Amino acid sequence: QSDDRLVGKKILVTAGGTQEDIDPVRFIGNHSSGKMGIAIANAAAQAGASVTLIAGQVKNLATLDSRILVTRVTSTNDMAQAVKHDFTDVDALVMAAAVADFQPITRADQKIKKNPDSDELTLRLRKTPDILKQVGQIKRHQFVVGFAAETQNLLQNANKKLIQKNADIIVANNVSNPGVGFGSDDNQVTILTRNHEPEKWPKMSKQLVAKKIIDLISDQIL
Ligand code: PMT
């Protein structure tokens, strides 16, 4: 079902996982399928917005509304560059992507060989750029929605992200609960904002979560 509430508004969405190369054949990744971010991009397009999706590793791009512009990225650095390139011009950003927190300090030029004298290999990692935090520092009119993927202390950790990343909303999900979070068709989220008590939504399809997030954004940017 389409409407035209967001006609003339620009919404930027990220989806999927980023990958950090270890060598030419190996990477560090995560289990994100991109379903949550794609559902948000589709809900925004169905409300009439001009939508750009910055997609990392995603499984079902075929379900994307044909009106959505897609930028494909691999690493967190690529995603950071793409988000910052588009951010100035948008009314809202939703960071649903599962962004790597660490990347190898060096990418080996050749495939790393097994050392016959050792059963161990040590990888040295450094922090990736925190995209949400960086845009939180430069945002002006833009309404910024982040996610928090937690396995413990959901509200406490998500609230820290709301403040430290200067987001307007954090959508918190406990990704250790079965049937929700990474890869599944459903999600169960709690909405954190600066001025209201956290709002726990029941388990529902990612499409419905997405539609309700777009309703929240519409209330703020219209
Ligand atoms: O893709 P699906 O299979 O549908 O799964 C959906 C999901 C579980 C991936 C999604 O609902 C979700 O929780 N996305 C955020 C995952 C994540 O990276 O969470 P985080 O708590 O590590 O990060 C907090 C926020 O900061 C997120 O908005 C993230 O996009 C952002 N971030 C994180 C690290 C980083 N270096 N830069 C960032 O911008």
In angstroms, what is the span from residue 47 Cα to ligand 1's centroid? 24
Tens of pLDDT, residue by residue over 46-84, are 999 999 999 999 998 999 999 999 999 999 999 999 999
Per-residue model confidence (pLDDT) at position 1: 67
Q: What amino acid positions are annotated as catalytic residues?
A: 30
Question: pTM value?
Answer: 0.98
Cα distance between residue 4 and residue 110, in whole Å: 52
Atom from ligand 1 closest to the CA of residue 31: 3
Query: What is the CATH code of the structural domain delimited by 10-109+122-221?
Result: 3.40.50.10300
Decide: helix, strand or coil at residue 47: coil
How deeply is 196 buried, as exposed, middle or buried, from its count of CB atoms within 10 A (0-12, 13-18, 19+)? exposed
Cα distance between residue 160 and residue 157, in whole Å: 5
Mean local confidence (pLDDT), 22-38: 98
> How would DSSP label each residue in 135-157?
HHHH-SS-EEEEEEEESS-HHHH
Tens of pLDDT, residue by residue over 124-178, are 999 999 999 999 999 999 999 999 999 999 999 999 999 999 999 999 999 999 9
In angstroms, what is the span from residue 141 Cα to ligand 1's centroid? 23
Tens of pLDDT, residue by residue over 184-210, are 999 999 999 999 999 999 999 999 999
In angstroms, what is the span from residue 123 Cα to ligand 1's centroid? 23
Structural domain boundaries in the chain: 10-109+122-221
Residue nearest to atom 5 of ligand 1 (CA): 182
Evaluate: CB of 173 within 6 angstroms of ligand 1.
yes
Evaluate: CB of 42 within 6 angstroms of ligand 1.
no
Complex ipTM, two decimals? 0.99
